[in-house]
Amino acid sequence: MEEDHLHNEDENIQENSKSETITRVTGMFKDWFLDYASYVILERAVPAIEDGFKPVQRRIMQSMKDLDDGRYNKVANIVGHTMQYHPHGDASIADAMVQIGQKDLLIDTQGNWGNILTGDSAAASRYIEARLSKFAIDVVFNPKITQWQSSYDGRRKEPVNLPVMFPLLLAQGGEGIAVGLSTKILPHNFIELIDASIKHLKGNKFTIYPDFPTAGIIDITDYKDGLRGGKVRVRAKISQLDKNTLVITEIPFSTNTSSLIDSILKANEKGKIKVRKIEDNTAAKVEILVHLPSGISPDKTIDALYAFTNCEVSISPLGCVIEDNKPLFVGVTEMLRHSTDNTVQLLKQNLELKLDEFEEQWHFASLERIFIENRIYRDIEEEETWEGVVNAIDAGLQPHIKHLKRAITTEDIERLTEIRIKRISKFDIDKAQQKIDALEEQIAQVKHDLAHLIDYAIAYFTRLKNEYGKGRERLSEIRLFDDVDASKVVIRNTKLYVNKAEGFIGTSLKRDEYVCDCSDIDDIIVFTRDGKMMVTKVDAKTFVGKDIINVEVFNRKDKRTIYNMVYRDGAKGPSYVKRFSVMGVTRDREYDLTNGNKGSTVWYFSSNPNGEAEVITIFLRQVGSVKKLKWDLDFADILIKGRNSKGNVVTKHAIRKIELKERGISTLKPRKIWYDDAVQRLNADGRGELIGEFRGEDRLLIINQSGIVKTILPELTSRFDDDMIVLEKWIPKKPISAIYFDGEKERYYVKRFLIEQEGKEELFISDHPKSRLEIISTDWKPIAEVEFTKERGKDRKDNWEVNLEEFISIKGITALGNQLTRDKVNQISLLEPLPYEVPEELPAEEIEVVDEDDISEVETPKVSKSNLDEDSDDNSDDDEQVEENGQGRLF
């Protein structure tokens, strides 16, 4: 009935519209597509959890085992042999084999197998050769415990799964795209996998993380055990070769030097970074030289490379394997547990097989000894039939077989009849007994191993680690990453212009007034004469409102930029003064900074990047009985509030003009800077160790173990070398004390010096290859202790305490210094310094400062009893929170 109904419906449709023909393929789609999807999932793309191989990989390994004679085989021959198990395409088999070979674990390669670092492909399969590695022979194959199945044409037997006794899938990684699902299992470290397997066998917890053959630096914070939704951030290893050259020595996994260089060149073309030249010197190891134009900051360029190129990539793992012919989504921890448990079971099967073999050998050796020692072979001389021979031997053995472990079979007797006369004549009873004793020891050992299977498995993994772990140490460095703010590291690749009268800003207004250099991802903040404010994206030409009074690049996280403003409320209302910061706003939304009355106008406006507070002079119009027509206003007396604050009344009378009398200094507290050792970066968020409080030109002092000292401004984009031993706020008058070993003179020297050239790297020890820095101190009065080497036949000299301040005066940074001692030194160490009272630095001008976190205070003091009235506004700044509308993105 249902089929008739569908048939009638089809006829109606064709009658109503002859131009449309509907063909129903529901059944066809349901059956054929499901079969196809199942085939791709199970037989092509996804590896099995039992051995970690996809079917084509398993067939390649079995073919290599079939052909293995210790010599190299042409890959083309192996490919052809593999096709006997399944008609894969020869190109796909060769590609799969090259991928296995490049992982340098199972295949011993010879010839050009390509380069994972440069992306170069392998030579043709007829030119390259391969054989199984010793590791593969050891852990992958064991025909006696392998389950077999017929090949596609029934002519051969192929393994269902290979008896892999190692977490191979996690060591090599795996990737595949099937129908409706995919898998991406990242490679892990060989040694760490073995250690984790041992921990699992001992009942301890373990954690494993990826390790990539291309090395690099990885952040595994969101790895999530390799499950769906996790990610691993991978960065290239970039260091500064000199002030104009960066060197990339390690690259992210899934990239190569060619794709990496292409991404750098594209970022350079788009103006995100500035690069003069790139050299690729990669051979066995990665070496990419990035030459920078003079004047470009290497630290910012490194961050920009991470932000805009493939020097940082994010890899999303997805643990999907085949178990019992079904897809299984599982984390790497469970994969390792499953592999380790499977290895234990395979080891058990192998031991049980050995036990059967040893017991069988013991049984026949015992029978042979009885047969020859008791001359039972003479009992068959007069027998004329085979049955009589068998019965005679059986009868002769019966008195001597009580100690045997199983009954004698016809097969046992047949084997006895096959013993040659020559062997009987040379039979040595003592040697036979020794062989039996040795077999009994082997049987006892196997039984012991079976009884202590976990200990046996731990010993097995330990052996693998000792035999194959050398040279397989971790390549990828695990480290927490700081997030790179693209807006802070992008190169200013365009120029911003403004037409103040008409109200246009943009990068194409080249005939109008130049504002500043900017990047194409910057936001621009604009203030107009009528007290309006807007934040908008950089574009070629944008209308923001007529009569612009200030335009600049906007940073939404900037708490230190303070705007000072005097405005008139309405056409004839009183004038107000206010100081405010701008942080959370909605792009392309217009904000009113006045009280909102029509006719409001701004008398005075200034933008202050460090919270400066200037002094202005206010002039009134001479109207009526106004006596005081001029006075000064100091913005330092005005509390910083939110942008919606109404402000304090300056005057109710008409203002004629306002002039700047005196430029101000910052009213914000010095900025606190911390150093987070986990990510090796500076921050202003309180993470890590507090370095100090920094004003405008305060600098950081950096000293490396290599004897290099420099001072830098505390920019949050600064990067630091791994051998940094001193990082602190630099006090210019505070001397630096050092004891170093001079490689040329082979003596220890002491020196004290001041840094005279800010921002310049200087070597303060001799440049001899054997010279080394022993101790460094930035204390005012350091004390060192010298321990001397004991000379033969003499008593050891007492330790010597050296007051470095008294030992040597302050000299130039390039001075050799004074020789510490002529005696041989065993060790030099720093003791507690002498007490010293640091002189307090008095500020140039006594001024009340404001903490950045207290900018939105509610209370507002009176500025002047005679000229300013107390603000009546409640200072509610509801726009500081993130807002949403249809005009632009939120920030």
Is 514 strand, coil or helix? strand
Over the range 449-482, which residues count as b (16 or more CB within 10 Å of their CB) and which as e?
beeeeeebbbebbeebbeebeeebeeebeeeebb
Which segments within 339-454 are labelled E, that is strand? Answer: none
Residue among 39, 127, 152, 514 flagged as catalytic: 127
What is the CA angle 495-497-499, rounded to 5? Answer: 175
Known catalytic membership, residue 377 = no
Per-residue CA distances from 774 to 43, 728, 735, 741, 766 (Å):
63, 19, 17, 7, 13
Closest residue by Cα to residue 749 from 816, 815, 703, 812:
816
Is 590 strand, coil or helix? strand
Is 394 strand, coil or helix? helix
How many separate helices (H) and strands (E) can be counted in the chain? 19, 48
Is 634 strand, coil or helix? strand
Please count the other Cβ atoms lying within 10 Å of the Cβ belonging to residue 314: 12
In 68-189, alpha helices (H): 75-82, 90-102, 134-139, 168-172
Does residue 255 contact residue 284 with C-beta atoms inside 8 Å? no
Helices 410-417, 332-373: inter-axial angle, 10-degree rounding: 60
What is the Cα–Cα distance from 588 to 571, expressed in whole angstroms? Answer: 27
What is the Cα–Cα distance from 300 to 303, expressed in whole angstroms? Answer: 5
What is the Cα–Cα distance from 170 to 194, expressed in whole angstroms? Answer: 11
One-letter amino acid at 621 equals R
Closest residue by Cα to residue 174 from 164, 166, 165, 184:
184
Sorted by sequence, the CB contacts under 8 Å of residue 885 that are 6+ apart come out as: 586, 589
Is 276 strand, coil or helix? coil
Over the range 15-43, which residues count as b (16 or more CB within 10 Å of their CB) and which as e?
eeeeeeeeeeeeeeeeeeeeeeebebbbe
For the chain, the maximum distance between any two Cα atoms, rounded to a whole number of angstroms, is 157
- Give residue for tokens 């910052």: 666
Helix (H) or strand (E) holding 805: helix 804-807
Over the range 681-706, which residues count as b (16 or more CB within 10 Å of their CB) and which as e?
bbebeeebeebbebeeebbbbbbbee
Order of strands, edge to edge, in the sheet holding 542-543? 513-518, 494-499, 504-506, 542-543
What is the Cα–Cα distance from 327 to 38, expressed in whole angstroms? Answer: 10
Residue 3 sits at φ, ψ, to 5 deg, of -65, -40
Which segments within 123-231 are labelled E, that is strand? Answer: 129-132, 147-150, 157-161, 174-177, 182-185, 217-219
Does residue 588 contact residue 535 with C-beta atoms inside 8 Å? yes
Torsion of CA 511, 512, 513, 516, to 10 degrees: -70
- Give residue for tokens 């004469």: 529
Does residue 701 contact residue 765 with C-beta atoms inside 8 Å? no
What is the Cα–Cα distance from 506 to 876, expressed in whole angstroms? Answer: 33
Does residue 114 contact residue 121 with C-beta atoms inside 8 Å? yes
What is the Cα–Cα distance from 718 to 702, expressed in whole angstroms? Answer: 11
Please list the active-site residues: 127
